[in-house]
Amino acid sequence: MVLAPGLLGPVPLPAEQVPTTPALSRLLSRGQRQDDDGADAAERRGLTQVLLQRFGAEASAPYARAADDPDWDRSGYLLHADPVHLRADRDQLRLFGASHFALSVDEAEALVAALNREFADDGLRLSAPAPSRWYLQPPAPPALETQPLDQVDGCSIDSASPAGTDAKHWSGFLSEVQMALFQSPVNAERERRGQPAINALWLWGGGTWRPLEAPGFQRLVAGSALAQGLADAAGITASHAALSEEAAAADPRLAGSLVVFEGLRQALQDADPLRWIEALRELEAGLDPALAALGRGRVGGIELDLTDGRRWRLERRDLRRFWRRRRTLTHWLDGLASG
């Protein structure tokens, strides 16, 4: 299975600039469409939610931190408290995660140390094992409903505020955090250099760590901390390899693998169409030998999940359905710029 969020855009490119993708077009044209449906389909969407579902996990924060900080004792309730930049955009407030811009280790440590001093009496403890991924350990599990960062990154957050019986308390805490960050010398220096200020935290994905049962695949190929942490908790092999001939289903060792391909989504979030093209070519290079392996019967099938509710599965018998006209990728893209 390949998870490929961002594959179908929307891409700010004219059709003539979209590369040809014979393998991908074959998969989409002849594969069986298996979209999510039902009342709870929206809750299963987004890369974070799909990964949690595949591993049978309930929360992302403890598994991501276990990968970011191997010395963490894996005890207690933990929340993501990711550093973000909030920007007023006409009549809405848009959020951008710190992965979009440079945040150094020294800057992250200085900001976290200042916030820990500010909220020491409240029993709250922040940690930053990675500059763009921070974690918060509250004194007790909060009754809080939040959205994953990948669901709101680059979007308006006007309708994405935390909910739940403790929402009012935590909204007050986040307002105090914004005031503290506004006064930080770190942000003053960032603004002097023309860099976005870290002016808020985004809380989400809270829960406790527990061992996970083995999922329905034997190997994970992914680079994210969450994916690596989930694989470790489930006791399966994980690799940081890129999606290429060495990390494709054409390799018999990787039959039954879950491959997480994030390059397309990251390029779209950064509004970088040239990087999206590069990522698309890398995906095509990985799928081409996989389809060859499928044709030879070395793998049972290839599933492509866009993590937005759209999924395709291609089996060997589907390759013989020549009557299904092969369409180019532009047929499926969500949106294209005019020429």
Give pLDDT tens digits for 287-312.
998 898 888 888 889 999 999 999 99
Count up the domains in the chain and report the number.
2
The whole-number average pLDDT for the span 83-89 is 92
Spell out the residues 6+ positions from residue 183 whose beta carbon is closer than 8 angstroms to its own: none
Backbone torsions φ then ψ of 50, nearest 5 degrees: -65, -45
Spell out the residues 6+ positions from residue 1 whose beta carbon is closer than 8 angstroms to its own: 217, 257, 258, 259, 302, 303, 304, 305
User: For 49-58, 60-69, 93-102, 319-328, which range has the lowest pLDDT when averaged over its residues?
Assistant: 319-328
319 falls within a domain? yes
- Considering 179, 207, 235, which residue would you say is the last residue of a domain? 207
238 falls within a domain? yes
pTM of the model as a whole: 0.89
Q: Are residues 22 and 76 in the same domain?
A: no
189 falls within a domain? yes
**Distance in angstroms (rounded) separating the CA atoms of residues 195 and 102:** 8
**Distance in angstroms (rounded) separating the CA atoms of residues 62 and 52:** 12
User: For 2-16, 67-81, 102-116, 245-259, which range has the lowest pLDDT when averaged over its residues?
Assistant: 245-259
Residue 294 contacts residue 283 (beta carbons within 8 Å): no
Q: Are residues 14 and 47 in the same domain?
A: yes
**Distance in angstroms (rounded) separating the CA atoms of residues 5 and 185:** 37
* Structure tokens given for 201: 């935290």
337 falls within a domain? no
No. of helices (H) and no. of strands (E), the chain? 10, 12
Q: Are residues 220 and 297 in the same domain?
A: yes
Find the domain containing 118 and state its range: 69-207
**Residue 110 pLDDT:** 97
User: For 32-41, 80-89, 142-151, 196-205, which range has the lowest pLDDT when averaged over its residues?
Assistant: 32-41
Q: Are residues 38 and 115 in the same domain?
A: no
Which residues, in sequence order, are bridge partners of residue 165? none
**Distance in angstroms (rounded) separating the CA atoms of residues 89 and 70:** 39
User: For 56-70, 82-96, 126-140, which range has the lowest pLDDT when averaged over its residues?
Assistant: 82-96
176 falls within a domain? yes
**Residue 324 pLDDT:** 72
**Residue 336 pLDDT:** 63
**Distance in angstroms (rounded) separating the CA atoms of residues 208 and 148:** 16
The three-point CA angle 81-276-47 to 5° equals 40
Counting residues of the chain whose pLDDT is more than 70, the rounded percentage is: 92
Q: Are residues 73 and 191 in the same domain?
A: yes
**Residue 160 pLDDT:** 84
Residue 55 contacts residue 215 (beta carbons within 8 Å): yes
The whole-number average pLDDT for the span 18-43 is 82
Q: What is the CA radius of gyration of the chain?
A: 21
Q: Are residues 167 and 220 in the same domain?
A: no
Q: What mean pLDDT value characterizes the chain?
A: 89
43 falls within a domain? yes
**Residue 92 pLDDT:** 86
Which pLDDT band holds residue 335 (cuts at 50, 70, 90)?
A: low
166 falls within a domain? yes
Q: Are residues 202 and 223 in the same domain?
A: no
**Residue 249 pLDDT:** 43
- Considering 157, 191, 207, which residue would you say is the last residue of a domain? 207
147 falls within a domain? yes
- Considering 186, 207, 228, which residue would you say is the last residue of a domain? 207
CA distances from 326 to 13, 15, 20, 27, 35 (A): 22, 17, 12, 9, 20
**Residue 43 pLDDT:** 57
**Distance in angstroms (rounded) separating the CA atoms of residues 93 and 110:** 26
Using CA of residue 77, residue 82, residue 88, residue 93, what is the dihedral sign? negative
Q: Are residues 98 and 176 in the same domain?
A: yes
Q: Are residues 105 and 200 in the same domain?
A: yes
Residue 141 contacts residue 164 (beta carbons within 8 Å): no
Residue 43 contacts residue 49 (beta carbons within 8 Å): yes
Q: Are residues 196 and 282 in the same domain?
A: no
Q: Are residues 158 and 29 in the same domain?
A: no
What size, in residues, is the chain? Answer: 339
Q: Are residues 200 and 73 in the same domain?
A: yes
Q: What is the pLDDT of residues 224-250, one digit of tens each?
A: 999 999 999 999 988 876 544 444 444
* pLDDT for 15 beyond 90: no
Counting residues of the chain whose pLDDT is more than 90, the rounded percentage is: 65
The whole-number average pLDDT for the span 47-73 is 96
